[in-house]
Amino acid sequence: MKALRYLNKYFFKYRYLLLAGVFFIICSNIFAILVAPIVRTAIDTMADDIKTYSLLSIDRAFLLSHIGKLALFFGALVLASALVKGVFMYFMRQTIIVMSRNIEYDLKNEVFEHYQKLGAAFYSSNYTGDLMNRISEDVSRVRMYLGPAVMYTINMFFLFVLVISVMVSINPRITLLVLLPLPILSVTIYFISEVINKRSDFLQQKLSNITTFTQEAFSGIRVIKSFAVEKWFRKAFENETEEYRKRYLELVKVNALFFPMILALVGLSVIITIYVGGKEVINGTFSFGNIAEYVIYVNMLTWPVASVGWVTSLVQRAEASQARINEFLQTEPDKVEGGVQDFSFSDSIEFRNVSFRYKADHSDVLKHIDLRIPKGTTLGIIGTTGSGKSTLARLLLRSYAPTEGQICLDGSDIQQLNLQAYRKLFGYVPQDIFLFSDTIANNIKFGVAQGDLDQTSVERFAAIADVHNDILGFPKAYQTLLGERGISLSGGQKQRVAIARALAREPEVLVLDDCLSAVDTSTEARIKHNLKPVMENKTSIVISHRVSSMENCDLVVVMDKGQIVESGSIQELLRAEGLFARMAEMQQQEEGISVE
């Protein structure tokens, strides 16, 4: 129960709902129990009256009408108390179940908010599906504890206390005999539900495998068809579902045992009641009415007893789920996510002896990087694939913290600076572009506070990124939806929309990570031309493996295997006849264009 203790703060938050719920539970139980004594009184009164009337040898017709009236009267009483009980049960659910839904809502928000705080390192070491499960599957299981389990437990407690004390006050010995089978019932149900839960967990897992499989088959349908492997996929799907069917039928068998079992044990209690009660009636210590009353009590206790097993397994599952949720909630955000210091950018960004590795047991991806980017200048970073260019950009954006060394803004370590404000400085076009399933216009406005950008500006930025004409060609122009249910963009179009999105923030520092790799050289030339005035007074970092992208740069650094191997202006680098010059020559031959 340790993990579930975490939820106590929520019980406290909704304590009034909980208390009201307990009150309604008590009331509903009182009226539920009332039925039994009413029935007993009815039977005993009628039996007495029949006895006395027959002694006085009164008219049979009169006796019948008298009994009829009694039956109506007591019947009305039973009906009335059942109705009142129903009303209280309604309020019991309205309070406790509502409380559980509220807590579920709060908990989901808490988990989501925490997810947003966690950094890139966390996301690269966890599966997306797993993260989704925490917030859906696990929270739902916890809700079963918060709602039904809590409600039934409180209900059971009060029902037991009330019913058993009434029964004992009537006849302790019979009470003991009658209640004997109930613990057996409880334990049996606990074990059966264990089996059921285990099997249904397994099925759940199977089902999610089938879903993943199906989803891949749909998203990859073009590849599947073009490789003509439909048959193989169908066969694999069949195998998966066949296994699922078999396991499901096993579960059905256990389920089929469940109810007969309960009914048999309840029946046993009723038989004991009638047998033992009957003997006592003959001895004169018990009335006919008492037998009926006891049968009602036994029936009333059956469901709660049956649900002990069920509730126990609910609580156990909730416990396991909450433990998983807690594990995530207790994951501390990276140190990159901290920082409170206010600042403004006026001088330069500096890398001071920065080394970095993604995981402790990996090798260094960046080695002793020293680099100074004065405000207002354009830096070019060029290097082969895997040389660490994107990693350098990620460190600058504070997705990760350097393993060694410091990155400084105007001399202060960027980890100390207020993160939100720090990231606002940047317009970043990452290498792996992600656009949301939304309209193109909204994707461009995405990084602007509250999407506060008019259509003319959106179009202006799209034009700079040379994607405006492409967009006008789409069915609904800027209102065209992207993503699964909308159109899909080509790699080059995606890159240009992402450039427009970065520009729309009108950032102080523009970071373009290989953002023109998928556009042809003439488009690249146009974009470079458009960007020139925009970048004039801005600090920019242009990352590319193409020499032609370095054209507007004040300083170019050449990276190789995580190190800066050369730096200088383009002319200097060409003259030095090092790696850069070799790359330039090679690319010139490939594309037949000049760098200068």
Ligand X SMILES: Nc1ncnc2c1ncn2[C@@H]1O[C@H](COP(=O)(O)OP(=O)(O)O)[C@@H](O)[C@H]1O
Residues contributing to the site for ligand X (CB under 6 A): 124, 358, 365, 383, 385-391
Residue with nearest beta carbon to ligand X: 390
Strand order in the sheet with 509-513: 426-429, 509-513, 539-544, 378-383, 555-560, 563-568
Conformational region of residue 411, where left means phi above 0, alpha means psi within -120 to 50, and beta covers everything else = left
User: What is the smallest separation between the CB atom of 433 and Mg ion, expressed in angstroms?
Assistant: 12
Residue type, 145: Y
Q: Taking CB under 5 A as the criterion, which residues in 395-434 touch Mg ion?
A: 431
Using CB distances below 5 to 8 A depending on partner kind, what does residue 383 bind out of ligand X, Mg ion, none? ligand X
Q: Does 390 bind Mg ion (CB under 5 A)?
A: yes
Using CB distances below 5 to 8 A depending on partner kind, what does residue 283 bind out of Mg ion, ligand X, none? none
Which of 124, 219 has the CB closer to ligand X? 124
Which of 386, 483 has the CB closer to ligand X? 386
Using CB distances below 5 to 8 A depending on partner kind, what does residue 358 bind out of ligand X, Mg ion, none? ligand X
* Residue 112 to residues 131, 135, 172, 321, Cα–Cα distance (Å): 10, 7, 55, 16
- Tokens in use for 507? 């950032």
User: What is the smallest separation between the CB atom of 490 and ligand X, expressed in angstroms?
Assistant: 21
Which of 119, 333 has the CB closer to ligand X? 119
Which of 193, 390 has the CB closer to Mg ion? 390
Which of 96, 558 has the CB closer to ligand X? 558
Neighbouring-strand partners of residue 563: 560
User: What is the smallest separation between the CB atom of 557 and ligand X, expressed in angstroms?
Assistant: 12
497 closest CA partner among 528, 534, 535, 459: 459
Using CB distances below 5 to 8 A depending on partner kind, what does residue 155 bind out of ligand X, Mg ion, none? none
Element (H, E) at 437: none
With contacts defined by CB under 5 A, name the span among 123-131, 275-283, 284-292, 381-389 that binds Mg ion: 381-389
User: What is the smallest separation between the CB atom of 426 and ligand X, expressed in angstroms?
Assistant: 17
Q: Determine the Cα–Cα distance for residues 508 and 502; give it in Å rounded to an integer.
A: 11
Which of 380, 383 has the CB closer to ligand X? 383
Using CB distances below 5 to 8 A depending on partner kind, what does residue 507 bind out of ligand X, Mg ion, none? none
User: What is the smallest separation between the CB atom of 452 and ligand X, expressed in angstroms?
Assistant: 33
Q: Write b or e for each residue in 232-247: b if 16 or more Cβ atoms lie within 10 A of its Cβ, otherwise e.
A: ebeeeeeebeeebeee
- Residues 6 or more apart whose Cβ sits within 8 Å of residue 576: 566, 568
Which of 226, 385 has the CB closer to ligand X? 385
- Tokens in use for 251? 């579960």
524 closest CA partner among 549, 498, 556, 497: 549
User: What is the smallest separation between the CB atom of 594 and ligand X, expressed in angstroms?
Assistant: 25
Q: Determine the Cα–Cα distance for residues 485 and 437; give it in Å rounded to an integer.
A: 8
Using CB distances below 5 to 8 A depending on partner kind, what does residue 571 bind out of ligand X, Mg ion, none? none
Which of 246, 359 has the CB closer to ligand X? 359
User: What is the smallest separation between the CB atom of 432 and ligand X, expressed in angstroms?
Assistant: 9
Using CB distances below 5 to 8 A depending on partner kind, what does residue 277 bind out of Mg ion, ligand X, none? none
SS (H, E, C) 34-97: HHHHHHHHHHHHHHHHHHHHHHCCCCHHHHHHHHHHHHHHHHHHHHHHHHHHHHHHHHHHHHHH
Using CB distances below 5 to 8 A depending on partner kind, what does residue 388 bind out of Mg ion, ligand X, none? ligand X
Q: Does 193 bind Mg ion (CB under 5 A)?
A: no
* Binding site residues, Mg ion, CB under 5 A: 389-390, 431
